[in-house]
Amino acid sequence: MLDNDEFRLETSPRELTQNPLRKIWMPCRNGHIAHRRVCMTNCPTIIVTVGLPARGKTYISKKLTRYLNWIGVPTKEFNVGQYRRECLKIYKSFEFFRPDNEEGLKIRRQCATSALNDVRQYLSVEGGQVAVFDATNTTRERRGTIVKFAEQSGFKVFFVESVCEDPDVIAQNIVQVKLGSPDYIHCDTEKAIEDFMKRIKCYESSYQPLDEVLDRDLSYIKIMDVGRRYLVNLVMDHIQSRIVYYLMNIHITPRSIYLCRHGESDLNIKGRIGGDSGLSARGREFAKSLGEFLQDQNIKDLKVWTSQMKRTIQTAESLGVPYEQWKSLNEINAGVCEEMMYEEIQEHFPLEFALRDQDKYRYRYPKGESYEDLVQRLEPVIMELERQENVLVVCHQAVMRCLLAYFLDKTADELPYLKCPLHTVLKLTPMAYGCKVESVYLGVDSVNTHRDRPERM
């Protein structure tokens, strides 16, 4: 037990010092930064999918995991089907999933338990904040087991149920996703479809959907017919509300997203970062070529977005189409380093220069921003991109890196070094579990503004 002097020492206000990398204030004692006493508002959360096979549960799981990691919430997906494949090695037929197959039921329970044990390890030991438990979880008994496990472990649970009765959507999901599964890798297409339809039948007899009355004490979102309707119940915290908001914005309509930087600017030629300069002669030539490229593509109902900076607006003006300006798309704010060359930053601010190379994602320019800040600023853009169909975003190098990292599922460490050259259009086409990328160089020379990752000391 602490005596009064020790108690006063422990509770007395500590001095503050500014973390040089992230420019945030932290308590210190005797000149050393103290370990922060972390107070988490949200305890770890398990997102649990619910639904029959071929209802898009894994699609939802992967998108949610990618989104939460991108906004800085450590998240990992646990696909029970993958545990089953590692256990069985060879899949024979739908017979394994029959409700009267005792051996199959035993193996599936073991796989679910193994996955839940890994969830506990991730959330309790490895520092994870959200675990996505991707399985059918079609019975109230199974869901009750998961809730009990979560309560004993100190985790919250949020269910995500996908209900779909549209045979065309189900058939499309089977062809696009399930036929590429390891279960059917050496199987004839027609036989694979027939087997998978029988697998669905094995679950239908015991399926108990989330019920407004029986499950009124559970936190969940029910997504009906791929987002035509939603039912949301008992959202408990900030993380759950963000999950709901995100899931209510995504869709599966085929579309493409085009990303490019503005045309080369006058400051690009001078090797200076930031600023608000106009286009160079080659930049104007690129803007003209971009307009011709879009005409050739003949993209249906294309929307064009720019930042509020001169060089992106000048680029869009040459396209001859309406465009929308977003302040959120403005380039990263380099603070006191705006319009400086990297050599000048190294000369005048050697410590800042070294700190940025040390952790480029979290480094914040004095009186400016970090890539981490930029991701938070761009979240509304991502939400709207998920809602839209065909969009061209004319933006900046750091901004394009952040957007690209979201769609390509890149880590915070990889994000600041993604190559986004001038005068090149990236066409992103969302696929079942990822994104197809096509790079189109429009043939106009420009300076190279990419700075490679420094070699580790």
Active site residue 262: yes
Q: Which of 220, 239, 238, 50 has the alpha carbon at shortest distance from 130?
A: 239
Alpha-carbon span 386 to 83, nearest angstrom = 31
pLDDT of residue 434: 85
As a residue count, the chain comes to 457
Q: Encode 20-47: b = buried (16+ Cβ within 10 Å), e = exposed.
A: eeebeeeeeeeeeeeeeeeeeeeebbbb
Q: Please calculate the CA angle 137-140-141 and round it to the nearest 5 degrees.
A: 90
pLDDT of residue 456: 67
Q: Please calculate the CA angle 10-16-19 and round it to the nearest 5 degrees.
A: 125
Token code pair at residue 391: 């969009």
Number of C-alpha atoms within 13 angstroms, CB side, residue 295? Answer: 10
Which residue of the set 134, 195, 215, 369 is catalytic? Answer: 134
Which residue of the set 77, 111, 183, 262 is catalytic? Answer: 262
Residue 55: other Cβ atoms inside 10 A: 23
Active site residue 331: yes
Alpha-carbon span 131 to 153, nearest angstrom = 13
Q: What is the pLDDT of residues 256-269, one digit of tens each?
A: 999 999 999 999 99
Active site residue 164: yes
φ, ψ of residue 233 to 5 degrees: the values are: -135, 130
Which residue of the set 111, 161, 164, 402 is catalytic? Answer: 164
Q: What is the pLDDT of residues 179-195, one digit of tens each?
A: 778 888 888 889 989 99
pLDDT tens digits for the chain (457 residues)? 444 444 444 567 888 888 888 888 888 777 666 655 444 456 899 999 999 999 999 999 999 999 999 999 999 999 999 999 999 888 889 999 999 999 999 999 999 999 999 999 999 999 999 999 999 999 999 999 999 999 999 999 999 999 998 888 888 888 877 777 888 888 888 998 999 999 999 999 899 999 999 999 999 999 999 888 999 999 999 999 999 999 999 988 889 999 999 999 999 999 999 999 999 999 999 999 999 999 999 999 999 999 999 999 999 999 999 999 999 999 999 999 999 999 999 999 999 999 999 999 999 999 999 999 999 999 999 999 999 999 999 999 999 999 999 999 999 999 999 999 999 999 999 887 889 999 999 999 999 999 999 986 4
Active site residue 395: no
Which residue of the set 183, 285, 331, 369 is catalytic? Answer: 331
> Order of strands across the sheet with 229-233?
75-79, 130-134, 45-50, 156-163, 220-224, 229-233
Alpha-carbon span 198 to 187, nearest angstrom = 15
In sequence order, which ranges of 71-101 are alpha helices (DSSP H)?
80-88
Q: Which residues contact 298 (CB under 8 A, 6 or more apart)?
A: none
Alpha-carbon span 328 to 114, nearest angstrom = 43
